[in-house]
Amino acid sequence: MKVGVLGAGQLARMVALAGIPLGLEFIFLDPSKDAGANRLGEALTGDYYDPELLAQLAERADVVTYEFENVPAPVAEFLASHTQVHPAPKALAVAQDRLVEKTFFNDIGIATPQYAAVNSLAELQQVMTTIAYPAILKSRTQGYDGKGQSVLRSADDLSAAWDVLQGVPAIVEVFVPFDREISIVAVRSVSGDIAFYPVAENVHRGGILRVSTALDNDPMQATAENYATRLLEALDYVGVLALELFEVNGTLLVNEFAPRVHNSGHWTIEGAETSQFENHCRAIANLPLGATSLVGYSAMVNFIGGLPDTNALLALPHTHLHLYDKEPRTGRKVAHVTVRADSAAQLAKLLPPIIAMADQVDDS
Ligand code: AMP
């Protein structure tokens, strides 16, 4: 079976590295001929809108998936009318627009931070008489890793924050004084079987994920699974998705979901019986799902903006390095490391030097 992937970056690469041993073949479409996944299959190089390349992808792939959620809707629909596409275009449409997404969550019984749609400075000023400060103004679309966002601390901030958005439709959300950020990665098969990974605790800085730690028997696991099930079933979803959550006073609020394999699930390559990448392949290829149970105690550290001495990294015990084949650039994820330890105490000891190495090369 041939899997087509929109995008050939690190996520596509880790999907292919997991799918090839299952007998899957890959074809990628990416604007860059040097994209990291290209050497793992056939490479189509060009624009995501290029009708010729899309036709080739649809023709040659038995199933198409994607490594990013901002796939233009006409592209996803064109592909879905010519071949199988997992997850279906509806999941993209919901994930691409924060207002549609939050409304969808609330409609299916998933709690979110209080929010309101905003289309002008006057509307923002009006809405902020009903939402408490601090709050966050976010563009509805095209936002990721904290891009297109401003914190509103008082009415004095409104005009400048609105200018940053340059008139694009937005939502404003109450700033949640969360105790922790966690995420759950879940997978659903064509026949509707669902599996969940143990939740991960995530540390962000500047809106970008830095460290994810897999948690055994977390008290929030059951609620996170309940939310993920509602979403997977409401979207008739096939493949892996990730739900990002805020824990506040023992309750969970959903921030957003990613209709794809997710950075907070990279630890599953070494730290789970079956990785998120393998389970995504299994799901979209209509194969049985693999077990998601923990193997050891794992955490993942992102390397952003630069790489340390990789020999020094690999010399550390229980350390697994994943390079993405990307030129270092400020704010760009270029590699991650997973540490898989024998105990939580050992993990706590091994992690700080690796985080220090990541901080040293990070200029964002
Ligand atoms: P996002 O782009 O929505 O995933 O936001 C990136 C990060 O900004 C999140 O992981 C949080 O750390 C922070 N953040 C976003 N929205 C909120 C919120 N409503 N309250 C508190 N922190 C937030």
DSSP 98-124: HHHHHHHHHHTT-----EEEE-SHHHH
Beta strands 200-205; 208-214: pairing state: antiparallel
Q: Is the pLDDT of residue 363 over 80?
A: no
Determine if ligand 1 sits within 6 Å of the CB of residue 331.
Answer: no
Q: Is the pLDDT of residue 146 over 70?
A: no
pLDDT recorded at residue 73: 85
290 Cα: distance to centroid of ligand 1 (angstroms): 31
Determine if ligand 1 sits within 6 Å of the CB of residue 204.
Answer: yes
pTM of the model: 0.96
pLDDT category, 145, cuts 50, 70, 90?
A: low
Q: Is the pLDDT of residue 291 over 60?
A: yes
Mean pLDDT confidence for 238-242: 98
Please name the amino acid found at residue 352: P
Going by C-alpha positions, the residue among 226, 153, 150, 161 that lies closest to residue 194 is: 226
pLDDT recorded at residue 86: 97
Q: How far apart are CA 300 and CA 200, in angstroms?
A: 10
pLDDT category, 206, cuts 50, 70, 90?
A: confident
Give tens-digit pLDDT for 129-139: 999 999 999 99
pLDDT recorded at residue 185: 98
112 Cα: distance to centroid of ligand 1 (angstroms): 12
pLDDT recorded at residue 364: 79
- Is residue 186 a contact partner of residue 228, using CB atoms and an 8 Å limit? yes
Q: How far apart are CA 100 and CA 310, in angstroms?
A: 43
Determine if ligand 1 sits within 6 Å of the CB of residue 4.
Answer: no
First and final CA of the chain: distance in angstroms? Answer: 41
What are the structural domains of the chain?
2-85 (3.40.50.20), 114-174 (3.30.1490.20), 180-361 (3.30.470.20)
146 Cα: distance to centroid of ligand 1 (angstroms): 7
Q: How far apart are CA 97 and CA 72, in angstroms?
A: 12
